Chain A
């Protein structure tokens, strides 16, 4: 796996000016203790994959939210069933919406990170009428969002 410093350097080269806060926060958070370093290794693998797949197509707004969400996933991992924690996928669609999603026996859950303005949480259950769509603009409670994401 690439070192965190290599990851930071490569991404700073590839990303547009002004996107540094995403990686600064990432590197700062990696200098805490061994437990969080382990978590950050997992996060960095995800970020590397996202960068390889979508690179320049992502906005700073999206990168910041992706980072915050994955950090929160890492922070709550002791509270979540391991199978659930590894059950999500991601995708950048043609509307420039970055999707973090998982499918379970109960339905489909998406976190939709738009290119600007807001993100959204969607759950669509298998039964008619069983769905929830929430838009999140400011002061996002990422922990609450993460628990909702893995709840069903």
Chain B
């Protein structure tokens, strides 16, 4: 992975060839930056594809601080920090046997079946090692901004189940496999 070349990003957030975290732990924290109006009712604007969070990790030995999630890590953005955003702190309260948050939802429609899947993955970028996303698949295909209309947009129930997951995280401030 290339090095971080944004001077305003603190060194402890640089990835610097650190390994990908394969398992999560109960009690660890995630931070998400959101517009206040998005938190009020996440159903209004929540983005299902690749929703970014920072892994705070163990509160006693943190990987990142809450305000770190406000940093812009894109080279082409003018702002260094999204000062107008709210920080949502989520606590991981349950995981599956593999220490993952990983859920599936199915729908049958006009004789066709589809399965949506949402999974928390660690996805470090050069200037933000703690970066994680809630990755979504539809029938095994990763849902992105580009293919959204051809995938999830067509499956109302799966889309709503996924939104319900993300909305409940933002309101209840927990990540739960239950």
Chain A residues in contact with chain B, CB under 8 A?
91, 93-95, 97, 99, 101, 103, 107-108, 110, 112, 114-118, 120, 122, 124-131, 133, 135
Contacts and interface: CB of A to CB of B under 8 A. Distances in A.
A114 B158 CA distance: 12
A108 B172 CA distance: 10
10 contacts: A94-B45, A103-B41, A110-B41, A117-B157, A118-B156, A118-B157, A122-B43, A124-B168, A126-B172, A133-B161
B79 interface: no
Nearest to B153: A95
A57 to B, nearest CB: 15
A129 B176 contact: yes
B164 A108 contact: no
Contacts of B41: 91, 99, 101, 103, 108, 110
Interface of B: 40-41, 43-45, 93, 109, 153, 156-157, 159-161, 164, 167-168, 171-172, 174, 176, 178
A124 B160 contact: no
A128 B164 contact: no
Query: Mostly helix, strand, loop or mixed at chain B's interface?
Result: helix
Contacts, number: 64
Contacts of B168: 124, 131
B172 A128 contact: yes
A93 B40 contact: no
A97 B156 CA distance: 9
Given A101-B41, A130-B172, 6 more contacts: A101-B43, A110-B43, A122-B43, A122-B167, A124-B171, A129-B178
A115 B160 CA distance: 13
B50 to A, nearest CB: 16
Nearest to B109: A117
Nearest to B45: A93
Nearest to B41: A101
Nearest to A94: B45
Contacts of A91: 41, 44
A101 B41 CA distance: 8
Contacts of A97: 43, 160
A32 to B, nearest CB: 35
Contacts of A122: 43, 160, 164, 167
In the complex, which of the residues B109, B159, B168 has the most CB atoms of chain A within 10 Å of its own CB atom?
A: B168
Contacts of B40: 103
B103 to A, nearest CB: 13
